[in-house]
Chain A
Amino acid sequence: MPGLTSESDDLAMVPVSPESEKQPVVIYPLRHGLKSPIHRLSFSWACGNTLRVSVFRKPPSEKADGDGEAGGRVVEVKLSNSGDEEVDAARWRRMAYSSVTPFALLQSRKHSLSAASRMSLDIPPYKAEWWEHVIEYSKEISSLLNDRKPPPKSIIEDPKSVVNEIAAPMCLKAAWELLEIFYVDKQSQSWIPERLIDWLADYNSLFSGTLPTIHSKLVDFQQELVGVQVVEEDPNYWDAMSSALAVGWLETVVKLLRLHGSYRFDQLSSRETENGLVEAVAVLISKMPRMRPGLREDNLGECYKTKPDFMKAWEKWRTQVSKLDCSSYWLQCDHRQTREGLKNLIQIMLGNPTVLSNATFNWMELFISHFLYIRPFTAGLESMHNSAQKCIQVKPVSISHKLFGLVFGILGENTEVVLAECSRSFGPWMMAHAVELLTAGSTHADILLHEEHSKLGGVSIEELHRLVYAQVLSSHALTWQIAPIYLTSCIKQGIGLLENLLYKQPVQHSQILLKSIEICRLYELDTINSNIMRIAGVHHWKHGRKGSGVFWLQQARDEFRLNRIAKQLFDFVGKSVSDEGFKQWEGLIELLGSESRTAGGLEFLNKYRDFRRSLLQVHGDTPTDAARNAAEALVSLMKNPSTPQRFWLPLLYDSLKLLMWQERPLVNVSQTHLLLNKLQELSMARLRPDFVEADLPSDALSSVRLALATNLGGAILEE
């Protein structure tokens, strides 16, 4: 075992993963406070990401006397949220919370749709409706992934700001959008290349950390720009523009071009031709035809919705670019950097592969530039895939970014790869939610994900991922309560796991208990509901909260246990009417109510209380009627089988004054016989070894006997 040879008192845990070269090793110190040597370690999982480590010392040998030290200790180590570091725990929970509603809505729509279409979503009208729902779902999930607030926009626009530093994007959102582009958004099918261009523009900064990117180059140049006087003489200026143009960030290029020195008033006259060329390139760039329905804010280009229109415009634009390339004005331009730089931009627009390759830094950027300038009419995943393969050959990456893997999997139409990439790089949340996009977008994925696998216990891959996600949710004290939403969407194993989850919740925490009961109510889990209440009842009872114990057992309608605890409860009840302690019982008796069905054996307490009340009202000068009521209460108590035997004698002893009522006997012959029989039974019971003697004067029994006999005599005479 690692760490055992160490001489130090404290151990440390070092997780070793096969990828440890890339990720720094995390060390978790174990503060067990035991003296060396440590003999044995044992590991087990506690709640969530917490690891429970039991540290044992060597058992003390015979001769060495105990040093008073503990023989071992259990410490818990909270493993930090490994994997996706871009999402901290609080943010992750926020994501989990806000994805519940869209997910639940989509599931309920799926149910109602499949009910309406009799189990098949493939019939055209339903399919179209289903698409709408999935798109709405996808957009909603996507929107919750960017809750980081953008920095406030300054009112005065800085002419030298070329890179729009919007809120830092998330890889997760980039991946989600990729899936949306390729699987869900049917309307954008014809302009997928343009959507990819937008996508790269949004997320290029994500790659900057691990790879050289155009974004990082522009950021560097932006910093440089502040100090540069004559911008057109800086080679970086031209490089930045050609890179930005290569991936279609037209607005950036035009903005940069306008910073050219020839636009300045004092130089305009002397550099007229030069300025004309710069402006001509800027105009051509801003007129570039794009095959898309509309532009995003700040974007340049001219949009064409149909392919024929676009092709026509494209040809025309290309002719204009070539015309400018061959223009005679270039000879009159004597600023070398400007001439060469502009020519380079024109080469990019003409789709020169070498220039494009020089202007881009990784295969993804090159791939995008190919769409823009070399194969603008690319359609279909297969040709995109071929193109991507070629780009990878030209610009191989040493460290593959996780998004690259996903893009390549999608282009290769390989659902297994897409799933594997998603699960490896983006975790259970992504898997549970993205499956809906995949199944909606591809029949192959639909079959693959819904097929039941016997080696997975009969569940489909879709269900498996939901179960995994629910497991992740369950392991946290704040998110466990949303796990049921995912579990109940799993047909095969969901309910079973939900039962487990509910049983595992600590009942001693009343808020969690009420939450569990609420979940049971929502999903109609009546049996579990009453079991949980029963567990809670027994727990409270054991911890001395008798009222809560009785309440929950009543709620669970557990007569068996109510009867059991009744026996214990009676031990505490004050035995004599005059006992002041009985006041405390009033509240509990109130709670019990008078219905025997819900009170079980405790019904006795209620009758007992009524009897005590009526007895306390009986004094020497009380009218006989009140005394008669008390006597009736006594007889009915004695008759009732739920009255415990140990109360018989105290009851009768307390009622001595009723039995010896001066005016007339209150108890008739047959009732007296009943009471005498009970007394006889009691005498028999006394012989048994387990009999508990009531705490009464020693002559109690004989005085009760005497009173009963007197009463019997009087009663016989009266009848």
Chain B
Amino acid sequence: MAVLTSSSQNLQVHRFPQDHYIDSLRWLPQLSAFHRNIILAAFDSETSTSSLQILSSSNSSSNPPELTFQSSLTTPSRITSLTTSQNPNKLLIAASTFSGSLLLYTADLVSGSLEFVDSVAEKGFHLGRVNGIDVSENGSEFVSVGEDGRINWVSFVGGGLSTRKVFDSNGLVSYGAVKWASPVEFVSGGLGFGLQWWDQRRPGGPVSQFKANWTRGTTSGIVHSIDIHPSRKHTCLAGGSSGTVFAWDLRWQQQPIMLSGVGTSDMSALSPSESDVWEVQYDNYTTSSNYRNMSESRVLPAMICSEDGILAVIEQGEEPVELLAEPCAINSFDIDRQNPSDIVCSLEWESIAILTRS
């Protein structure tokens, strides 16, 4: 097990047991200083139904936070990935499903209610699991990738969704994650720790590809999650099997920057996790003060959650800071964009944890 520095910062953790499995969860934009909403994709194993739920979290410094159920909508299939957009007119929630569809909802933050907007479910969209979706910064362009090897571009125009196929590998490649880099570029990731850079100005295939070469002799892995920081669009952060987290800089394409992973001998000592990293996100909290001082070539700090129950912040060349070490997997987490000290994560054993750093 890796050596971990215990966090010197003050950390409050509150756990909320739920009665269903949580596939994914996200913060919704904050309405007032005391109330925030969380959207979660729940799966009820008793009835085999899945739903989207809004929970509201009361937030005051004196009392422990409380979660109250707001509303729920049954979804036609189990959710694989959830993303929210900060569209100025409308709060959009997009969800991809096991059955190969994309669902779009809107949420009313005041009443805490959900409303169905549109969905894409036709045969030509995805066959089987959609593994990842992402929404563009303007909030109306979605990109989805699936295990069938298809990449689709979905636009939200005039109140409805329209789709366009970007690429179809006919199953020769399966994708696991996707992230926008700019309005016309995105990065996909998948098998063999591979990453593909796509540019809509140059259609027909990825403009650049990356394949891990550090796994020589050992087994390879899968990229489960990708993040790109808006201030550094040339660098792509990816997390996947065997605790692997690496950054791929388009300007130095051949060599990835390893941040964590047991596959590489020089890294394993610093790796907070040994199994699948389910989600990676840049962590804006710790660096808000010395943000500008950071060298351009250094990878910004990132938060990860893993199958072996670790929620940690990793930084290039430094010991990871472990925030949570659970006996079960942490499936998904989200850092509050407006208030990056707050994190919400979903635990495999049917519960939610809310962390507050101070």
Residues of chain A touching chain B, judged by Cβ–Cβ distance below 8 Å, are 78, 89-90, 93-94, 97-98, 100-101, 104, 147, 476-478, 481, 510, 514-515, 518, 521, 540, 543-548, 551, 554-555, 583-588, 590-591, 593, 595
Q: Is the CB of B216 within 8 A of A587?
A: no
Q: Is the CB of A510 within 8 A of B172?
A: no
Q: Tell me the minimal C-beta distance from A631 to chain B in angstroms.
A: 27
Q: Tell me the minimal C-beta distance from B214 to chain A in angstroms.
A: 12
Q: Is the CB of B275 within 8 A of A518?
A: yes
A90 to B19, CA, bound (A): 5
Q: Tell me the minimal C-beta distance from B216 to chain A in angstroms.
A: 7
Contact residues of B: prevailing secondary structure: loop
**Quick one: CB contact mask for B202-216 with A, threshold 8 Å, 1 for yes?**
001110010100001
Q: Is the CB of B147 within 8 A of A545?
A: yes
- Beyond known contacts A547-B191, A551-B222, A591-B211: 6 more, CB 8 A cutoff: A90-B350, A518-B308, A544-B170, A548-B191, A551-B220, A584-B169
Q: Is the CB of A587 within 8 A of B196?
A: yes
Q: Is the CB of A89 within 8 A of B46?
A: yes
Contact of A587 with B194 at beta-carbon distance under 8 Å, contacts A94-B350, A100-B327 already known: yes
B317 interface residue per 8 A CB criterion: no
Contact of A583 with B205 at beta-carbon distance under 8 Å, contacts A547-B169, A591-B191 already known: yes
Contacts of B349 in A (CB 8 A): 93-94, 97-98
Contact of A510 with B204 at beta-carbon distance under 8 Å, contacts A147-B17, A545-B171 already known: no
Q: Is the CB of A510 within 8 A of B209?
A: no
Which listed residue, B205, B274, B307, B327, touches A586 by the CB 8 Å rule?
B205
Contacts of A585 in B (CB 8 A): 172
A478 to B23, CA, bound (A): 12
Which listed residue, B169, B241, B328, touches A97 by the CB 8 Å rule?
B328
Q: Tell me the minimal C-beta distance from A26 to chain B in angstroms.
A: 16
B149 interface residue per 8 A CB criterion: yes
Within 8 A of A (CB), among B157-212: 168-174, 190-192, 194, 196, 204-206, 209, 211
Q: Is the CB of A591 within 8 A of B194?
A: yes
Q: Is the CB of A555 within 8 A of B205?
A: no
Q: Tell me the minimal C-beta distance from A384 to chain B in angstroms.
A: 39
Within 8 A of A (CB), among B235-256: 241
The 3 closest A-B pairs by CB, nearest first: A587-B173, A90-B19, A97-B349
Q: Is the CB of B350 within 8 A of A591?
A: no
Contact residues of A: prevailing secondary structure: helix
Q: Is the CB of B209 within 8 A of A545?
A: no
A490 to B289, CA, bound (A): 53
Q: Tell me the minimal C-beta distance from B64 to chain A in angstroms.
A: 12
Within 8 A of A (CB), among B241-295: 241, 274-276
Contacts of A546 in B (CB 8 A): 170-172
A548 to B222, CA, bound (A): 10
B129 interface residue per 8 A CB criterion: yes
Q: Is the CB of A510 within 8 A of B129?
A: yes
Q: Tell me the minimal C-beta distance from A90 to chain B in angstroms.
A: 4
Contacts of A544 in B (CB 8 A): 148, 170-171
Q: Is the CB of A548 within 8 A of B174?
A: yes
- Which of B46, B196, B205, B350 counts the most chain A CB atoms within 10 A? B46
A510 to B177, CA, bound (A): 14
Contacts of A543 in B (CB 8 A): 128
Q: Is the CB of B327 within 8 A of A101?
A: yes
B21 interface residue per 8 A CB criterion: yes
Contacts of B276 in A (CB 8 A): 514, 518
B219 interface residue per 8 A CB criterion: yes
Please give me the residue from chain A that is nearest to B47 by CB atom.
A78
A100 to B329, CA, bound (A): 13
Q: Is the CB of A478 within 8 A of B148?
A: no
Please give me the residue from chain A that is nearest to B190 by CB atom.
A547
Contacts of B147 in A (CB 8 A): 510, 545, 548
Contacts of B274 in A (CB 8 A): 521
Within 8 A of A (CB), among B103-136: 128-129
Q: Tell me the minimal C-beta distance from B347 to chain A in angstroms.
A: 9
Q: Is the CB of A590 within 8 A of B328?
A: no
Q: Tell me the minimal C-beta distance from B258 to chain A in angstroms.
A: 18
Q: Is the CB of A545 within 8 A of B174?
A: yes
Contacts of B192 in A (CB 8 A): 551, 590-591, 593
Please give me the residue from chain A that is nearest to B221 by CB atom.
A555
B297 interface residue per 8 A CB criterion: no
Q: Is the CB of B216 within 8 A of A595?
A: yes
B45 interface residue per 8 A CB criterion: yes
Contacts of A478 in B (CB 8 A): 21, 45, 350
Q: Is the CB of A551 within 8 A of B191?
A: yes
Q: Is the CB of A547 within 8 A of B174?
A: yes
Q: Tell me the minimal C-beta distance from A97 to chain B in angstroms.
A: 4
Please give me the residue from chain A that is nearest to B275 by CB atom.
A518
A510 to B147, CA, bound (A): 10
Q: Tell me the minimal C-beta distance from B330 to chain A in angstroms.
A: 13
Q: Is the CB of A93 within 8 A of B171?
A: no
Q: Is the CB of A477 within 8 A of B45?
A: yes
Please give me the residue from chain B that is nearest to A541 by CB atom.
B171
Which listed residue, A101, A548, A583, touches B204 by the CB 8 Å rule?
A583
Q: Is the CB of B173 within 8 A of A588?
A: yes
Q: Tell me the minimal C-beta distance from B254 to chain A in angstroms.
A: 14
Q: Is the CB of B275 within 8 A of A554?
A: no
Q: Tell me the minimal C-beta distance from B306 to chain A in angstroms.
A: 10
Contact of A591 with B328 at beta-carbon distance under 8 Å, contacts A518-B275, A547-B191 already known: no
Q: Tell me the minimal C-beta distance from A75 to chain B in angstroms.
A: 15
Contacts of B350 in A (CB 8 A): 90, 93-94, 97, 478
Q: Is the CB of A587 within 8 A of B220?
A: no
Contacts of A93 in B (CB 8 A): 349-350
A629 to B189, CA, bound (A): 33
Q: Is the CB of B327 within 8 A of A590?
A: no
Q: Is the CB of A590 within 8 A of B149?
A: no
A588 to B274, CA, bound (A): 27
Q: Tell me the minimal C-beta distance from B116 to chain A in angstroms.
A: 26
Which listed residue, B21, B206, B307, touches A518 by the CB 8 Å rule?
B307
Q: Is the CB of A587 within 8 A of B45?
A: no
Q: Tell me the minimal C-beta distance from B272 to chain A in angstroms.
A: 16
Please give me the residue from chain B that is nearest to A557 by CB atom.
B219
Q: Is the CB of B194 within 8 A of A586?
A: no
A586 to B172, CA, bound (A): 9
Please give me the residue from chain B that is nearest to A585 by CB atom.
B172
A367 to B328, CA, bound (A): 45
Q: Is the CB of B19 within 8 A of A547?
A: no
A101 to B327, CA, bound (A): 7
A518 to B224, CA, bound (A): 15
- Which of A98, A543, A545 counts the most chain B CB atoms within 10 A? A545
A593 to B209, CA, bound (A): 13
Q: Tell me the minimal C-beta distance from B32 to chain A in angstroms.
A: 25
A554 to B191, CA, bound (A): 11
A540 to B222, CA, bound (A): 15
A477 to B50, CA, bound (A): 14
A548 to B172, CA, bound (A): 8
Contact of A547 with B173 at beta-carbon distance under 8 Å, contacts A90-B350, A478-B21, A518-B307 already known: yes
Q: Is the CB of A584 within 8 A of B129?
A: no
Q: Is the CB of B216 within 8 A of A547?
A: no
Contact of A584 with B172 at beta-carbon distance under 8 Å, contacts A545-B149, A591-B211 already known: yes
A169 to B174, CA, bound (A): 51
Contacts of A586 in B (CB 8 A): 205, 209
Contacts of A518 in B (CB 8 A): 275-276, 307-308
Question: What are 6 A-B interface contacts by the 8 Å CB criterion?
Answer: A89-B46, A546-B171, A547-B191, A551-B222, A591-B194, A595-B216
Q: Is the CB of B129 within 8 A of A587?
A: no
Q: Is the CB of B172 within 8 A of A587?
A: yes
Please give me the residue from chain A that is nearest to B23 by CB atom.
A511
Q: Is the CB of A587 within 8 A of B17?
A: no
Q: Is the CB of B327 within 8 A of A588?
A: no
Contacts of B211 in A (CB 8 A): 590-591, 593
Contacts of B128 in A (CB 8 A): 543, 545
A101 to B309, CA, bound (A): 13
